[in-house]
Structure 1
Amino acid sequence: MNFDNMPEPRMEYAYFVVPGIIAVICMLLYLRFKRVGWL
């Protein structure tokens, strides 16, 4: 199999960083929508 082109072996913390970034974006969107009264 072609494992040289997969990003996972080169990025040790990718599986922790990506969900963290998604959670931060969701929290920022929630706070923004709450502030403007959409929620």
Structure 2
Amino acid sequence: MTRYVDLFFGWKTLYVFIMKIIFISLTAYTIYLMKVLIS
């Protein structure tokens, strides 16, 4: 997550911004699924 702190302070292009949002969302969703399905 610390790699994406710059998300809020300035971003170069809309493409990079959208890709970072998608990546963070999918990572959080994957962790959620792992916690729900395993436990």
Specify the TM-score bucket, using the shorter chain as the normaliser.
Answer: 0.5 to 0.7
Q: Which runs of 4+ in 1 moved over 3 A?
A: none
TM normalised by structure 2 equals: 0.62
- Unpaired runs of 5+ in structure 1? 1-6
Structure label with greater radius of gyration: 1
- Unpaired runs of 5+ in structure 2? 1-10
TM normalised by structure 1 equals: 0.62
Higher RCO (C-alpha under 8 Å, 6+ residues apart):
2
| Count of aligned pairs between the two proteins | 29
- The alignment yields a C-alpha RMSD, in angstroms, of 1.5
**Seq. identity, %:** 14
Normalized per residue, the structure richer in helix is 2
